[in-house]
Structures are given as C-alpha cells and as structure tokens.
Amino acid sequence: MNTKALEPMRGPRAACKLCEALLSKPARQRRHFRLPARYQSPTLRLFHPHLDAPTAARRAAELGQAILSSDSIPPEEEVIEALRSCELAAAIASGASESPTQSTDPSATTTLLSLDNRADTASTKAIPDILSELSFRIISHPPVFINAAVLASYVNTQCMLERPQTLPEAFTLYAHKPVPTPGSNPPVYKEPNPDKISQAVPEDTAADALDAAIIAKDLDLALAIINSAYRTKAYRNDKLFKKLGVPVTIASLAPLGVYIIATQAASLQDMVDNSYATGAAFAGFMTYLGAVSMLGYISITTSNDQMKRVVWRPGMGLTERWIREDERAALDKVAMAWGFKEDSKRGLEEGAEWDYLRDWISKRGMILDKTDLMEGME
C-alpha cells in the first residue's frame, strides 16, 4: 500500500484561536483534577467538588491545544483524556444550568449562570459550542488515530454536549481517514481500506449516535447516521464475520464428524457390506443435518416479530434481509420516533418530513406502514 505524508488540516494557530475564549480568562483557584481511568456513563451528572464549568473547559482546552499544536502522533490515552475532559466540562455546565448547587463554602460555590454576571453567563452558554468544535478538531487532526475507543469517547462527548451534528462526518473519518504509521516522525500515513471489518462502526456506538439524533429531532441527521454507520460494506462484513464465523467453521467440520459417526454406526451391524453401510449412514446423517440447518436458516431470516412499522418489500432475498436487519431496525426506530405513538393513528401521519422518510425507506427495499399489517387491516 502506498504511503504518503499528510499535512495537518488545522494548524496550531487555528487551535489557539479556538481555545482563546477559554484560555484567555484568568483561572480561578481550584484544585487540579484527574479524569477517572474508565468512563462510566455517557450521561455523567456528577460534579467534582472543586471544579466549575469554566475551569473544566479551560482544562479541556489545554489538553486539546497540546494535541493540535503538535505534529507528532499522540498516545490514545491523551486523546481520550482530552475528549473526556470536554465531556466532563459539558456535564458540569449542563448540570449547573439545570440545578445550581449551593454550599456554605464560598470558595467552592461559584455559580456559572449567575444572573449578576452577564459575561460569565454568556461564556458559559458558549462552552458547549466551543468544546464541540474542539472535540471535532481533535479527531480530525491528521496525527490522531481514530480507533473504536476514541470514536466511542467522541460520540459520548457530543451526546453530552447535545451537538450530534458532526457524528456522520466522524463515522466517515473513522473509515476513511489516513492512518499514521506508529513510530514515524514526521508521521507517514497509509490509506485505509474502508471495507475492512476493523473500519466498521461498533453497533453500540452507532446506536448511541442514532439516539442522540432522535432526541435532537433532526431527521436528516438520523438518516445520515444510518447511512454512514449501518449501510457501509464494512458493517455488513463485520456482521458476517461475527455472526457466521462460528457456524461456518462448525459446518465445514461437520462432514468429518458425521463420517466418523457413520463409520462407528456401520461397525455395529453385519448384515451388509461395511463400506455400503458407512455410505448409507453418512448420506442419512448429512441429509438430516442439512434439512435441520435449512429450517433454522429460514426461521431466522424470515422472523418478523421485531418489526413495528418498517418491513421488507416482498421479493427481498432472505440473506440480504438478515445482513441488513440492523439497518431496518434503525429505520424502524426513527419511524416510531417521528410518527404517532398510538397504534390506532399509525398511517395517518402527513407532512414533508414524513413523506421524505417514507420515500427514503422505499428506495432501500423496505415499506413504511404496510397496509395489510396495520391494526384493523388484516
């Protein structure tokens, strides 16, 4: 594979301008903090007793600027720490805006949304936008390698910031961004194969991103996430490998096992020739095994109990149905979120967004609200 050097997309000077709003303010006297080694929840609402939102945001800006101002390949731990710092700052800012805490200690009770200080209020409201852009600059910085852990941390950060608009672009970067060669200085980059299993967006990460888009009530964003996560060839290859790897291995070894069993069974009789008995037993066992396997395959691929509003169009191949089931389930979740919640009102939705969703689903081999499956239309 050809290698090439890639110049940084964003220089140190741009990073300084991004963080200037946070780093230029004088730091308050607070104890330094360290992020926990493991991220515990994407909906973190716990406050550090000696930390406020501007202080946490400045800390995140410092960590982000350290990465963006360097052309060397940063360790994965530093990247995740910077992203989690952004998430922690967002958690504190959102928690302070929802329910400001009070304490008898004046040194630990600086309220970010104080109505008496309009400058602090304005800067606090700007923190999510600044941290969201900083997080995206971090993962798009050429020397930063985006692995599954970094991608999951970025998605969690943007979900906490309530800024999921860049998630489809982040998924595209995950699959297509040039990979820096470890140990190279200056970094040398290799073009990845976007269809490789390792380039597939993890299922849990894609689900979190889709939930964030649904919460944001952004239909275009939700469909873009489905397109960049579930509809990629890498995602389908990953599902084939994970779900079919063990069954295919067992199926390939089955004839040998069946032959051994047939040989042993033939040795228990003396009425016909041993080789003939072995062949007959082998044929019978394989026929039984093949029939049972085919019934199981049909049962799995035709199962539709999980379908709510989005179903497959008649004529869709059974294998393709199974491979694309996660995509259909994601569209089903979107349709459930945008349509009426009452079963009796399903099919009565109208409007430009709903028509667009119906057409989008139809072009991909599925049907939204198939008439003969709706309540009262059996």
Tell me: the pLDDT tens digits for 215-243? 999 999 999 999 999 999 999 999 999 99
Tell me: the pLDDT tens digits for 202-218? 999 999 999 999 999 99
pLDDT of residue 126: 78
Sheet of 189-190: strand order equals 3-4, 189-190, 179-180
Q: Is the pLDDT of residue 288 over 70?
A: yes
Assess whether the previous peptide bond of 186 is cis (omega < 30° from 0): yes
pLDDT of residue 291: 95
Of 79-83, 125-129, 332-336, the range with the highest mean pLDDT is 332-336
To which residue do tokens 């709510």 refer? 308
pLDDT of residue 50: 63
pTM over 0.75: yes
CB within 8 Å of 257: residues ≥ 6 apart? none
Q: Helix 203-215 and helix 167-176: axis angle, to 10°?
A: 160
Tell me: the pLDDT tens digits for 156-167? 999 988 899 999
How is residue 47 written in tokens? 């406050």
Q: Is the pLDDT of residue 27 over 70?
A: no
Buried b / exposed e along 345-375 (16+ C-beta atoms within 10 A): ebeebeeeebeebbebbeeebbbbbbeeeee
13: phi then psi, degrees, rounded to nearest 5 = -65, -40
Tell me: the pLDDT tens digits for 37-91? 333 443 344 445 567 778 888 888 999 999 999 889 999 899 999 988 888 887 8
Q: Is the pLDDT of residue 137 over 70?
A: yes
* Confidence tier at 104 by pLDDT (50, 70, 90): very low
Q: Is the pLDDT of residue 123 over 70?
A: no
- Cα–Cα distance, 115 to 132 (Å, whole number): 25
